[in-house]
Amino acid sequence: MTELNFEASKLEALCKSLEPGFFSFSFKSEPEKERVLDAGPWSFSSNLLVLQQCDHDILEMYYDFSHCPFWMHLFGLPFGRVTTDTVREIASKIGEVLDVKLEAKGNITYKVGKARVHLNLAAPLKTGVVINLGSKKLWIKFKYERLPHYCYSCGRIGHYATACFARIIHNPQEHRPLTLYN
């Protein structure tokens, strides 16, 4: 059993390896566990750690690790349109929206919207979306917080471009590098 330090939350948990790539974490209290769950996503050596609440009545093979919450910043909205409703609506095109915040960034006086979205890890990360605003189309660019290893070729989390099945199966020229953010 190993003691694991969840640095951003300043909390520790006892970690037990159940099988390769599958771990059990024990926290000192329920509130500490909730704080760690709320502060994710977590990574170990830049590999994503997908956390699920333990249920003693569920067989290990039936846990669903296909989704993980990430904070996603939205850039490109006119400042008068940066509202929680607009941010929620745009973010809902990517996945289930768990939370929305508006916050000031650096020296910028107006606020930027961000949403905590339950991302489908099997799908490529989107770099943005086109939205209709009145008669105009706008490109809304996404920037993800605390992004772990992901593939520059297909945009999926969990492997490098050198081990990308999409690149091996298809013509590598068709896969242009993606620009995402940490």
Does 153 sit near Zn ion (CB under 5 A)?
Answer: yes
Cα end-to-end distance, the chain, whole Å: 31
Name residue 55's amino acid.
D
- 101 backbone φψ class: left, alpha, beta (φ>0; ψ -120 to 50): beta
DSSP labels, 59-81: -GGG---SEEEEEEEEE---GGG
- Considering the complex, what minimum distance in angstroms separates the CB of residue 123 from Zn ion? 12
SS3 79: helix
- Considering the complex, what minimum distance in angstroms separates the CB of residue 159 from Zn ion? 6
Does 125 sit near Zn ion (CB under 5 A)?
Answer: no
List the one residue from 154, 158, 178, 180 that touches Zn ion (CB under 5 A). 154
Find the length of the chain. Answer: 182
**Contact string (CB under 5 A) for Zn ion, positions 160-179, x = contact:** ----x---------------
The number of helices, as runs of H, and strands, as runs of E, in the chain is: 3, 10
Does 151 sit near Zn ion (CB under 5 A)?
Answer: yes
Instruction: Round to whole Å and give the CA distance between 64 and 60.
Output: 9
Contact 119, 69 (CB under 8 A): yes
Nearest residue (CB) to Zn ion, 6 versus 150: 150
Does 86 sit near Zn ion (CB under 5 A)?
Answer: no
Specify the stretch interacting with Zn ion by CB under 5 A; choose among 22-30, 77-85, 105-113, 154-162: 154-162
Specify the stretch interacting with Zn ion by CB under 5 A; choose among 85-93, 114-122, 128-136, 152-160: 152-160
Kindly determine how many residues on this chain lie close enough to bind Zn ion according to the rule CB under 5 A.
4
Residues in contact with Zn ion by the rule CB under 5 A: 151, 153-154, 164
